[in-house]
Amino acid sequence: MSLGEQFDNIIINTDNYKHSHYPLYPAGTEYVSSYIESRGGEFPVTMFVGLQAFLRDYLMRPVTLEDVDAAEYLMREQGMHFNRENWMGIINDHGGYLPVEIEAVAEGTVLPTNNVLVQTINTDPKYYWATSFFETALLRAVWYPTTIGTLSWMCKQVIRTALERTSDNEGALRFMLHDYGARGVSSQQSAALGGMAHLVNFNQSDTTPGILAAKRWYNAVAPSNSGPNSEHASFTAWGRDNEVDAIRNMLEVYRDHGVALVLTDTYDHENCVKNILGGELKEMVQNFPGLVGARPDSGDVVQVTSDTTEWLMEAFGYEVNSKGFKILPPFIRVVQGDGVTGESLRRVYIEMERRGLAADNAVFGMGGGLLQHVDRDTNRFAQKANAVCVNGEWRDIAKSPTGTGYKASKAGRLALILEDGEYKTVPRASVSPEQNLLKPVFRNGKLLKKWDFAELIAASETPVPQSWYESWIAPMLEAAPAA
């Protein structure tokens, strides 16, 4: 997503020191290959997403003379070496487009960590340095949305497990986790990329930039649902003594809309649930033509979710589903959007199951815990050179530092295959092009494959072995059954 014309300039969308690297390669270097992988970390898998957004917004924009002038001025001002001839050659020889080829696994694919996701190489030996020059922008474009998409996907497996164990409504899965992260993220660009990644897994979001991103870069059609929600500003404006009037007004205003998510912790959450929603306004809630959500926004997320569910059951009753768990009437649910993380979500469901409450009594929202509480090291993303061609001779190259084993990189041009249900990163020369799941997506300024958002969703929902994510759901599987 553009931050303005100056920020679109790929020559300065990098670390300053990248400009000093081109003369450091061996004389006669013709080609440089590099790859991107997650080297393990918090999540045992990755859900790959976001590359196409970067390609369309940055690499399909040609470098101009004005870009070169601006970059030269900036680099020399910083005391950094700048080779104008390199960039004038890009303009004159290649119309301003970087002479590189990028291949990648299909977006939306879920696969174990420590596998190649992206591989790039220069297409003109004169510009061997181009492969690594835009590493900063390319790696950032991959690690952030992929990490958010992976976190969202892992939460989806937690919710899926809870529904399978306690609910008759497993079809509700894509509507169970809402993105409330726009205000808790570092920038609108992050909100766009992270919010878009979440929508691969769920249909719920209030992060408008993420919705726009899915539509702009992946041709998404109606990727998200939302509904009228309240905030403390409008409720406190009525005054403490008029809380019931504030809630009554909301139920009246949005009666025809069919959804009203009501904040219940403006003052005394328990009193609001028991004596306002379940007391003075009980008949109005029961007759609301749609869904009323009771939304606690404070307290211990584990206890308050189950407590609120039970208080609503005291007021409105419940049924027992086929799995023996209590479920609220369809017009009322808990909407929990405070303190939700991947870890707390597991504990919430363990407590609900312990109390005999079906998982679909509550829906959830994540804010900063979804879009902001990650960094490149969450899943140890890196881009490393794996092969060079010098004077016509290919060399497999890799780093192998002492002291930090996971930082060792892979040597040689790579391929990704799926064999007997297992993804494997193997030498490129060992398999046929048809077997290789890395497919060219970009070459010399042209997009070779355009992913549709529906394709991303389909890929992300392809069944995978439970063993891939079992570490995340193990506490739920080990929890004692309901009393």
Q: Are 48 and 109 in contact (CB under 8 A)?
A: yes
Three-class DSSP category at 1: coil
- Rounded (to 5) percent helix, strand, coil in the chain: 45, 20, 35
Tell me the per-residue pLDDT of 138-186, one tens digit each, with 9 for 90 and over. 999 999 999 999 999 999 999 999 999 999 999 999 999 999 999 999 9
- The predicted structure's pLDDT at residue 403: 77
Domain map of the chain by residue range?
5-133+380-465, 168-371
Quick check: 132 pLDDT over 80?
Answer: yes
pLDDT, the chain, mean: 95
- CA–CA distance, 480 with 471 (Å, rounded to integer): 17
Closest CA to 329 of 338, 316, 340, 348: 316
Q: Are 34 and 396 in contact (CB under 8 A)?
A: no
- CA–CA distance, 195 with 370 (Å, rounded to integer): 9
For 296, list phi and psi in degrees, rounded to 5.
-70, 140
Q: Are 80 and 20 in contact (CB under 8 A)?
A: yes
For 394, list phi and psi in degrees, rounded to 5.
-85, 140
Token pair, residue 64, equals: 């101009």
- The predicted structure's pLDDT at residue 482: 58
Three-class DSSP category at 80: coil
Q: Are 374 and 386 in contact (CB under 8 A)?
A: no
**Counting beta carbons within 10 angstroms of the beta carbon of residue 273, is it exposed (0 to 12), middle (13 to 18) or buried (19 or more)?**
buried
Query: What's the chain's Rg over C-alpha atoms?
Result: 26
Closest CA to 243 of 213, 223, 210, 268: 268
Question: How many CB atoms are closer than 10 A to CB 402?
Answer: 7
Quick check: 122 pLDDT over 90?
Answer: yes
- The predicted structure's pLDDT at residue 445: 97
- Beta-bridged to residue 383, according to DSSP, are 36
Tell me the per-residue pLDDT of 396-408, one tens digit each, with 9 for 90 and over. 999 988 877 788 9
Q: How far out from the chain centre does Cα 430 lie? A: 33
**What is the average pLDDT across 20-40?**
96
Has domain 168-371 been given CATH number 3.20.20.70?
Answer: yes
Dihedral sign (CA 383, 398, 60, 216)? negative
Going by pLDDT thresholds of 50, 70 and 90, the confidence category of residue 131 is very high
Closest CA to 200 of 367, 50, 381, 54: 50
Q: Are 33 and 386 in contact (CB under 8 A)?
A: yes
Point out the least confidently predicted range of 8-22, 125-139, 453-467: 8-22
User: What is the pTM (predicted TM-score) of this model?
Assistant: 0.96
| Residue 276 DSSP code | I
Q: Are 48 and 381 in contact (CB under 8 A)?
A: no
Question: How many CB atoms are closer than 10 A to CB 81?
Answer: 13
Quick check: 5 pLDDT over 90?
Answer: no
- CA–CA distance, 272 with 281 (Å, rounded to integer): 10
* Cα 43-147-120 angle, rounded to 5 deg: 110
Quick check: 293 pLDDT over 50?
Answer: yes
- CA–CA distance, 449 with 442 (Å, rounded to integer): 7
Token pair, residue 12, equals: 């300065």
Quick check: 462 pLDDT over 50?
Answer: yes
- CA–CA distance, 97 with 91 (Å, rounded to integer): 7
User: Where is 97: in which H helix or E strand?
Assistant: none
Quick check: 431 pLDDT over 70?
Answer: yes
Going by pLDDT thresholds of 50, 70 and 90, the confidence category of residue 1 is very low
**What is the average pLDDT across 406-414?**
94
CATH number for the segment(s) 5-133+380-465: 3.20.140.10
Going by pLDDT thresholds of 50, 70 and 90, the confidence category of residue 267 is very high
Point out the least confidently predicted range of 19-23, 42-46, 403-407, 449-453: 403-407
Tell me the per-residue pLDDT of 330-379, one tens digit each, with 9 for 90 and over. 999 999 989 999 999 999 999 999 999 999 999 999 999 999 999 999 99
Q: Are 91 and 12 in contact (CB under 8 A)?
A: no
Q: Are 113 and 41 in contact (CB under 8 A)?
A: yes
Q: Are 138 and 404 in contact (CB under 8 A)?
A: no
**Counting beta carbons within 10 angstroms of the beta carbon of residue 34, is it exposed (0 to 12), middle (13 to 18) or buried (19 or more)?**
buried
Quick check: 409 pLDDT over 60?
Answer: yes
- The predicted structure's pLDDT at residue 402: 86
- CA–CA distance, 343 with 112 (Å, rounded to integer): 20
Closest CA to 253 of 271, 228, 223, 218: 228
User: Where is 195: in which H helix or E strand?
Assistant: helix 188-199
Quick check: 2 pLDDT over 60?
Answer: no
